[in-house]
Amino acid sequence: MLSAFVLAQDSIGLEKVETPRIVSKLYFGEQLKFNDVELKFVDVIQDSRCPKNVNCIWAGEIVVLVDVFENDIKTEQKKLTLSPTSHLQNLIGNLFSSETLNISGFNVLPYPVSGTKTKREDYYIQLDISN
């Protein structure tokens, strides 16, 4: 009975623990820094997502631009396209990827509401940061 208990304790210690993920908000016009990488939410090119309380034939999409800086030098500008029906753009590291850091944009809020116009400064990108 004692050896079964010890084995049970041993097997628990061998389980692989997943690296914690951090979710951050990157607001329009602002910058976030992670180690030597900095992201700036530059523009909302298009927001054709179907507003809440409306029936649409097409779900729509949102397209945003994000500048990527490494060591304070702009290295690229990423165009992030997200739609409710497409998960292909949500691959890990769709904004930045290295051996030690992955940054992905997985949602842009606020979601459109019928009859109201969203101000650019109200938009933010939800980021998934993992090591």
Section 34-44 average pLDDT? 95
Contact 87, 98 (CB under 8 A): no
pLDDT band at 58 (very low <50, low <70, confident <90, very high): confident
For each of the domains in the chain, give its residue range(s) and CATH number, in order of start. Answer: 19-130 (2.60.98)
Higher model confidence: residue 124 or residue 1? 124
User: Under DSSP, is residue 35 helix (H, G, I), strand (E, B) or coil?
Assistant: coil
pLDDT band at 25 (very low <50, low <70, confident <90, very high): very high
Higher model confidence: residue 47 or residue 59? 47
pLDDT digits (tens, 9 = 90+) for 80-127: 998 876 655 456 678 999 988 899 998 999 999 999 999 999 999 999
- Residue 19's pLDDT is 61
- Residue 9's pLDDT is 52
